[in-house]
């Protein structure tokens, strides 16, 4: 192996200085010279004995360790075998913090992430540096968190952390980059309205309806009018308030904790951000106020298909009620309830395991073949949450669609069947565990939990909590939820949409039926 390497190296030197004249082309030589001409089904000689990881040594190491640096930044890590690691910085900053600023800053920051920094002249330089370690970088913003993450070979940890620190604390925010970002944001807004999948748009609308004008109800996507308003000065003033070390977590998966702490001390402890000292006094600490309400968007959806196969015209309805924050104990029963509702698309492929026995399949999709989609979602934040059901059908059947959703909501308050509950609990556990198979998901889990609670609940603790959920828990949380005012988002041709008051009446009735409408003329 060693001789192999050294020979390659000397050869590359020839290649570099000896130029074209030495090159042999096809026909000359034929076989690959030093290249091992050995079938893949027989082992390559000369490979060092692998040191296999075994589960026993892994168990001790695989717990989350957390250290707080002197400046308040938390470092959390979890070891995991494999030569790649995912390391990133999570910041407690998102669209919900934009009350005193023009909406859309978080969206801009997401798009601007990993652009030129103090050390690196351009995004290309960053990518080139990462490529040396087989790495990729990504930034994602949600309503309450911004996440800068890099996946790379564990050996490149030092470079990775230095790059992260640079990207988060020392972005240059050049004029041309901001201009490019404006274009990217405009493009994304346009794309959002054209996409056949209405899910992101509906989520945005139902948040606006549920938390009218406050915190998580603020737009996650930059409103088109704000695109030109946001510039370097605005961004810096925002960053000064929200990008303080005490609002950040450096999380890593697949690395040693000591190593990560060492790197954090080197690159993040005394790093002075480019926007100067933090002004934490201006941080918006308001709690989410659930208001309920309706947001409608009348839109011609008769031709949304981007490909050759046409998609039928659909109207999309999403109805939600206030659930609870992920810090409350009721969060787990709500998660089980969400799993029990399940649902999906009526034409989705896949064998057993996609949730064929969830309520939205059994009660809705299997009974009403005209429905195209019925899915339950649960959004939860540190101070509030929202459980909603999305359904799509032909615009002429909007009224029935709404009634089907409201009836499902009312039926949640009944006692769930024993089998059904047990199945939902098992499915929730297995979904949790299956998601945690992948490194980036563990990273996100570690980072988010440490950011919001300062510690991490391990998967098996969560599983124990899920096991403890009883039918009466489900009944209790549903009863509480049904007392809240509904939030409604509707998209498409809405001529048949019942009024908000009627939806509200249906949700406070016993059977979930909409009040009857007497119409003289049909």
Partner 1 sequence: MASVCRVGSTVGRSLAKHRSPVLLSLRRGQRSVSYAQSLAGAPETRLTALDNGLRVASEETGHATCTVGLWIGAGSRYESEKNNGAGFFLEHMAFKGTKKHSQTALEQQVESMGAHLSAYTSREHTAYYMKTLAQDLPKAVELLSEVVQSSSLSEAEVEQQRAVVLRELDEEEGNLQEVCMDLLHATAFQGTPLSHSVLGPSANARTLTRQDLVEYLSSHYKAPRMVLSAAGGVNHEELVGLAKAHFSGLSFEYEGDAVPVLSPCRFTGSEIRMRDDAMPLAHVAIAVEGASVTSPDVVPLMVANAIIGSYHISNGGGKNQSSRLAAMAAEENFCQSFQAFHSSYSDTGLMGIYFVTDKHHIEDMMHWSQNAWMNMCTTVTESDVARGKKALKATLVGQLNGTTPICDDIGRHVLNYGSRVSLAEWDARINAVTPKVVRDICSKYIYDKCPAVAAIGPVEQLPDYNRTRSSMYWLRVVTMCSVPVWLSLVLLLPWCAQGQRGGPDQDQDRDRDRDRSGLLSAWFPPEVRPLLRQGRAPSRLPKRGQQGSRFALSLDVPTSILSVLIDLAKNQDLRTKAAANAELMARIG
Site for partner 1, residues 52 to 71, rule: CB under 8 A: 52-55, 58-59, 62
Smallest distance from partner 1 to CB 23, Å: 7
Enter the DSSP assignment of 438. S
Asked if 309 touches partner 1 (CB under 8 A), the answer is yes
Asked if 36 touches partner 1 (CB under 8 A), the answer is yes
Residue 112, SS3 per DSSP:
helix
Asked if 172 touches partner 1 (CB under 8 A), the answer is no
Phi-psi region of 492 (alpha: psi -120 to 50; beta: other; left: phi over 0): left
Smallest distance from partner 1 to CB 280, Å: 34
- Runs of H (alpha helix) within 243-367: 257-267, 331-341, 359
Smallest distance from partner 1 to CB 356, Å: 6
What are 66's strand-pairing partners?
76
Cα–Cα dist 109/270, whole Å:
23
Residue entry with tokens 């790197």: 263
Smallest distance from partner 1 to CB 17, Å: 8
Smallest distance from partner 1 to CB 191, Å: 9
Kindly report the length of the chain: 522
Closest alpha carbon to 440 in 235, 172, 151: 151
Strands 248-253 and 84-91 come out as antiparallel
* Shorter beta-carbon distance to partner 1: residue 127 or 178: 127
Q: Quick one: which of 3, 40, 285, 518 contacts partner 1 (CB under 8 A)?
A: 40
Asked if 431 touches partner 1 (CB under 8 A), the answer is yes
Q: Quick one: which of 10, 45, 516, 522 contacts partner 1 (CB under 8 A)?
A: 45
Smallest distance from partner 1 to CB 304, Å: 16
Phi-psi region of 499 (alpha: psi -120 to 50; beta: other; left: phi over 0): beta
Q: Which residues of 171-180 are buried (b: 16+ CB within 10 A; e: fewer)?
A: bbbeeebbee
Asked if 156 touches partner 1 (CB under 8 A), the answer is no
What are 386's strand-pairing partners?
322, 379
Residue 346: HSE in the Cβ half-sphere, 13 Å Cα cutoff: 16
- What are the Cα distances from residue 148, in Å, to 77, 99, 104, 508? 15, 23, 18, 43
Asked if 520 touches partner 1 (CB under 8 A), the answer is no
Asked if 464 touches partner 1 (CB under 8 A), the answer is no
Retrieve residue 302's tokens. 């008769």
Closest alpha carbon to 443 in 123, 16, 86, 66: 86
Q: In this structure, how many other beta carbons lie within 10 angstroms of the beta carbon of residue 75?
A: 24
Q: Quick one: which of 429, 448, 456, 502 contacts partner 1 (CB under 8 A)?
A: 429
Give residues 108-137 in contact with partner 1 (rule: CB under 8 A).
123-124, 127, 131-132, 134
Asked if 479 touches partner 1 (CB under 8 A), the answer is no
Smallest distance from partner 1 to CB 428, Å: 8
Give residues 403-422 in contact with partner 1 (rule: CB under 8 A).
419, 422
Retrieve residue 279's tokens. 């002004």
Asked if 23 touches partner 1 (CB under 8 A), the answer is yes
Smallest distance from partner 1 to CB 424, Å: 9
Asked if 176 touches partner 1 (CB under 8 A), the answer is no
Residue pair 379/389 in contact (Cβ under 8 Å)? The answer is no
Asked if 10 touches partner 1 (CB under 8 A), the answer is no
Give residues 326-345 in contact with partner 1 (rule: CB under 8 A).
none
Residue pair 203/379 in contact (Cβ under 8 Å)? The answer is yes
Cα–Cα dist 10/323, whole Å:
66
Q: Quick one: which of 3, 10, 29, 418 contacts partner 1 (CB under 8 A)?
A: 29
Q: Quick one: which of 6, 286, 348, 426 contacts partner 1 (CB under 8 A)?
A: 426
Closest alpha carbon to 368 in 350, 334, 340, 343: 343
Asked if 354 touches partner 1 (CB under 8 A), the answer is yes
* Shorter beta-carbon distance to partner 1: residue 45 or 521: 45
User: With contacts defined by CB under 8 A, how many residues of the chain interact with partner 1?
Assistant: 86
Smallest distance from partner 1 to CB 352, Å: 4
* Shorter beta-carbon distance to partner 1: residue 126 or 161: 126
Helix axes 175-194, 232-242, angle to 10 degrees: 80
Asked if 32 touches partner 1 (CB under 8 A), the answer is yes
Smallest distance from partner 1 to CB 499, Å: 38
Asked if 439 touches partner 1 (CB under 8 A), the answer is yes
Stretch that binds partner 1, among 42-50, 98-106, 290-298, 369-377 (CB under 8 A): 42-50
* Residue 401 CB contacts under 8 Å (≥ 6 apart), including other chains: 315, 317, 371, 391, 392, 393
Asked if 26 touches partner 1 (CB under 8 A), the answer is yes
* Shorter beta-carbon distance to partner 1: residue 17 or 518: 17
Give residues 192-251 in contact with partner 1 (rule: CB under 8 A).
none
Retrieve residue 426's tokens. 């098992």
* Shorter beta-carbon distance to partner 1: residue 52 or 518: 52
Smallest distance from partner 1 to CB 109, Å: 17
Stretch that binds partner 1, among 275-283, 289-297, 456-464, 491-499 (CB under 8 A): 456-464
Stretch that binds partner 1, among 2-10, 194-202, 261-269, 403-411 (CB under 8 A): 2-10
For 404, counting Cβ atoms within 10 Å of its Cβ (0-12 exposed, 13-18 middle, 19+ buried), the class is buried
Smallest distance from partner 1 to CB 14, Å: 10
- What are the Cα distances from residue 1, in Å, to 31, 39, 44, 448? 20, 18, 11, 43
Q: Quick one: which of 6, 81, 305, 461 contacts partner 1 (CB under 8 A)?
A: 81
Cα–Cα dist 72/76, whole Å:
13
């Amino acid at each position: 192996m060693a001789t192999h390497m050294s020979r390659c190296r000397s050869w590359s030197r020839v290649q570099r200085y000896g130029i074209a004249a030495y090159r042999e082309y096809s026909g000359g030589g034929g076989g690959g010279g030093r290249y091992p001409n050995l079938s893949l089904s027989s082992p390559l000689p000369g490979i060092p004995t692998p040191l296999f990881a075994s589960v026993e040594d892994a168990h001790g190491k695989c717990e989350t360790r957390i250290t707080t640096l002197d400046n308040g930044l938390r470092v959390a890590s979890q070891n995991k075998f494999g030569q790649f690691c995912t390391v990133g910085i999570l910041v407690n900053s998102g669209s919900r913090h934009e009350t005193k600023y023009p909406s859309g800053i978080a969206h801009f920051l997401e798009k601007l992430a990993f652009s030129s920094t103090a050390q690196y002249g351009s995004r290309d330089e960053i990518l080139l540096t990462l490529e040396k370690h087989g790495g990729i970088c990504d930034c994602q913003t949600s309503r309450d968190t911004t996440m800068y993450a890099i996946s790379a070979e564990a050996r490149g940890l030092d470079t990775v952390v230095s790059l992260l620190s640079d990207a988060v604390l020392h972005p240059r925010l050049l004029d041309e980059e901001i201009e490019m970002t404006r274009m990217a944001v405009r493009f994304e807004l346009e794309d959002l309205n054209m996409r056949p999948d209405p899910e992101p748009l509906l989520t945005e609308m139902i948040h606006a309806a549920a938390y009218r004008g406050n915190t998580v109800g603020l737009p996650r996507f930059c409103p088109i009018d704000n695109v030109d308003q946001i510039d370097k000065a605005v961004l810096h003033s925002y960053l000064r308030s929200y990008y303080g070390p005490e609002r950040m977590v450096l999380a890593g998966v697949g690395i040693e904790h000591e190593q990560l702490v060492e790197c954090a001390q080197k690159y993040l402890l005394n790093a002075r951000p480019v926007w100067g000292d933090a002004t934490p006094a201006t941080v918006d600490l308001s709690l989410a106020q659930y208001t309920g309400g309706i947001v409608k968007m009348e839109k011609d959806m008769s031709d949304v298909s981007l490909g050759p196969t046409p998609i039928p015209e659909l109207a999309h309805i999403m109805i939600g009620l206030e659930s609870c924050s992920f810090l409350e104990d009721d969060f787990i029963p709500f998660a089980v309830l969400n799993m029990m509702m399940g649902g999906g698309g009526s034409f989705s492929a896949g064998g057993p395991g996609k949730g064929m026995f969830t309520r939205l399949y059994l009660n809705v999709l299997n009974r009403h073949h005209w429905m195209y989609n019925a899915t339950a979602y649960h959004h939860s934040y540190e101070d509030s949450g929202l459980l909603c059901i999305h359904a799509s059908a032909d615009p002429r059947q909007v009224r029935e669609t709404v009634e089907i959703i409201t009836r499902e909501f009312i039926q949640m308050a009944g006692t769930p069947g024993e089998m059904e509950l047990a199945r939902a609990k098992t499915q929730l556990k297995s979904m949790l565990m299956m998601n945690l198979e992948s490194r980036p998901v563990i990273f996100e889990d570690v980072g988010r939990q440490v950011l919001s609670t300062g510690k991490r609940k391990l998967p098996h603790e969560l599983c124990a909590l899920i096991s403890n959920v009883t039918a009466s828990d489900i009944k209790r949380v549903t009863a509480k939820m049904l007392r809240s005012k509904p939030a409604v988002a509707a998209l498409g041709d809405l001529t048949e949409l019942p009024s908000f008051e009627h939806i509200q009446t249906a949700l406070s009735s016993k059977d979930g039926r909409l009040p009857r409408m007497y119409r003289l003329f049909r």
